[in-house]
Chains A and B, each alone.
Chain A
Amino acid sequence: MQTNILDYLNQTAALKPDKTAFADDRDALTFGQLQAQRGAVGTWLHQKGVYREPVVVYMNRHPKEVAAFYGVVTGGCFYVPVDEEMPKGRIQLILNTVGARVIICDAATKKTAEALDFQGDIVLYDEISRTPPDQEALQSIRDRAIDTDLVYIMFTSGSTGVPKGVAVCHRSLIDYIEQLSAVMEFNEETVFGNQTPLHFDASLKEVYPTLKFGATTYLIPKNLFMFPVKLVEFLNQKRVNTICWVVSALTMVSAFGAFKTAVPEYLRTIAFGGEVFPVKQYQKWKAALPEAKFVNLYGPTEGTGVCCYYQVDREFGPDEVIPIGHSFPNKEILLINDRNQRAAQGEVGEICIRGASLALGYYNNPEKTGEAFVQNPLNTAYPERIYRTGDLGRYNERGELQFVSRKDYQIKHMGHRIELGEIEANVNALEEVKTAGCIYDKARDKILLYYEGEMEEKLVAAALKDRLPRYMIPNHICRLERMPLTANGKVDRVTLKSNYQEGKEK
């Protein structure tokens, strides 16, 4: 039985050392190079005495970033990916939460890293990846590893203003990659076109099946997602046949009519997720690629990756919603109603997940862990954890699961999961702001921020850019004379929303 995620790489590097594993528009790493570099990084960590602890990887999206992840795991540690585009304030919060002793950087991120409040070592990947490998030490680390040891911590939006670190172990990740690969029919011919940054779990779909099958992943330059025709040309040039993208990236191509100019001629598998794919846009893709397989994927970071899938097998009308379908094998979706019972046929319930691919919890955050990872209410006989997603769903008359809405103030904006509370907490933290309230216009996919305070709107916008990732910056910022409040003194989002709707109609 496989107990370590990197056993995939051992097998593949022996069989196809010279095949390209990861590449972008400039650089590439083969499986042989990955194998050598991970050994070097693992040895460096060992010599530093860094073992069974978090190691932050703060690098540009690049084949070497992937190699750094594997190197950290080879050293018996777990990686914490931090994105080049994350603002400093958020990186600091992540550092404070994980308490790592090492940050692995590249030349572009080193300066920012050095400006952080951090006592440990800041090292360059290019330097530590030249460490002569100590095979004996690496073997010993491997022998002592067990499959409930962590592989990574990935951070997701937290409603109190502090992001939550989802901690995942080898067993969960192996289970996920095995089931996903079987359903999606990945193989050694697969050429992935990666869209999502590597600090999101969505990128696991490429980062690990590539090792398992000896496939190839192209990390598509981010700026191509602004220029649809250039993007399709890139896919054709690299002969990409499989993409797992957020809906907004797919929509960008189809809505702007790129298919009139260029069609991705090698694409055979198109998986989409992160939010609901508008049927109108799906139909444009289907018309351009009638032979391709389209799969809707659904699942939170806390389930390691996606937990449900639906392979589109029928026509959809413009007012219908593509379902999220069924759970992957070896896990179960429980639909739990507000009486903590299994929802009846057609009844709305909270989507809950059970199975080996559940994350172990939020790192250094027992309180939030206890709220979301709870005892299965249907089982009173022995301890069994399930994860409550906070998503509401319902089974349709075909027995397919359908997403209905959120229970709380979490939204999906351009494919990103965002707690409106996290934005508000960051605005409230600005000295000259008294109170802030955020609402979301789903129809137009816009985040609207209202606040009361002395600060100019322009300055609020600029200050938020230092604290929040780009996708969390409100699309519209408006200062109010007085914030509407509810009877018990909380920001009245309902009034904000109705004022906004009225304003739009005028």
Chain B
Amino acid sequence: MEELLEILNDLHPDVDFETCDSLIDDKILDSFDIVTIIAEVNDRFDVTISAEKITPENFNSAEALYALIQELEDED
């Protein structure tokens, strides 16, 4: 989780990712961010987030995104 928060904080130092659960609904993240997050997650966690997993639900909070990463890590 620490590492994921680091990726997110680097994008938006002014957002509290530990508590925010409306990253998509409140338009905090945009398409630039999604592209960056997916590339960074791919680099650092060695998991590939496939297109059908790129949904508003999975990116609405750091927690949801972390759950997705763990799910993908377990599949390997």
Show the binding face of A for B, using Cβ within 8 Å: 222-223, 225-230, 248-249, 252, 256-258, 260-261, 414, 457-458, 461-462, 465, 470-471, 475-477
Which residues of the other chain, A, contact B50 by a CB distance below 8 angstroms? Answer: 256-257, 260
Q: When the two chains form their complex, are residues B51 and A257 in contact, meaning their CB atoms are under 8 A apart?
A: yes
20 chain-A/chain-B pairs, Cβ below 8 angstroms? A222-B30, A222-B31, A223-B24, A223-B27, A226-B54, A228-B51, A229-B52, A248-B31, A256-B49, A257-B50, A260-B50, A461-B12, A461-B13, A461-B14, A462-B13, A470-B30, A470-B32, A471-B32, A475-B11, A476-B10
Q: Which of B29-72 contact A (CB under 8 A)?
A: 29-32, 34-36, 38, 49-52, 54-56, 59
Which residues of the other chain, B, contact A227 by a CB distance below 8 angstroms? Answer: 54-56
| Extra inter-chain contacts (20) besides given A257-B51, A261-B51, CB under 8 Å | A222-B30, A222-B31, A223-B24, A223-B27, A226-B30, A226-B34, A226-B56, A227-B55, A227-B56, A228-B54, A229-B54, A230-B55, A248-B35, A252-B31, A252-B34, A256-B51, A258-B51, A260-B51, A458-B13, A475-B36
Nearest CB in chain A to that of B58: its residue? A227
How far does the Cβ of B13 sit from chain A's closest Cβ, in whole Å? 4
With A and B bound together, what is the CA distance between A306 and B51 in angstroms? 31
With A and B bound together, what is the CA distance between A386 and B54 in angstroms? 46
Nearest CB in chain A to that of B50: its residue? A257
Known contacts A226-B31, A226-B34, A226-B59; A256 and B54 CB within 8 A of each other: yes
Nearest CB in chain B to that of A258: its residue? B51
How far does the Cβ of A197 sit from chain B's closest Cβ, in whole Å? 12
Q: When the two chains form their complex, are residues B13 and A229 in contact, meaning their CB atoms are under 8 A apart?
A: no
Nearest CB in chain A to that of B25: its residue? A223
How far does the Cβ of A180 sit from chain B's closest Cβ, in whole Å? 26
B35, B51, B52, B59: residue with the most chain A Cβ atoms closer than 10 Å:
B51
With A and B bound together, what is the CA distance between A230 and B32 in angstroms? 17
Which residues of the other chain, B, contact A248 by a CB distance below 8 angstroms? Answer: 31, 35
With A and B bound together, what is the CA distance between A226 and B59 in angstroms? 10
Which residues of the other chain, A, contact B49 by a CB distance below 8 angstroms? Answer: 256
Which residues of the other chain, B, contact A475 by a CB distance below 8 angstroms? Answer: 11, 36
With A and B bound together, what is the CA distance between A477 and B13 in angstroms? 10
With A and B bound together, what is the CA distance between A337 and B17 in angstroms? 51
Nearest CB in chain B to that of A446: its residue? B36
Which residues of the other chain, A, contact B54 by a CB distance below 8 angstroms? Answer: 226-229, 256
Known contacts A228-B51, A229-B52, A260-B50; A414 and B14 CB within 8 A of each other: no
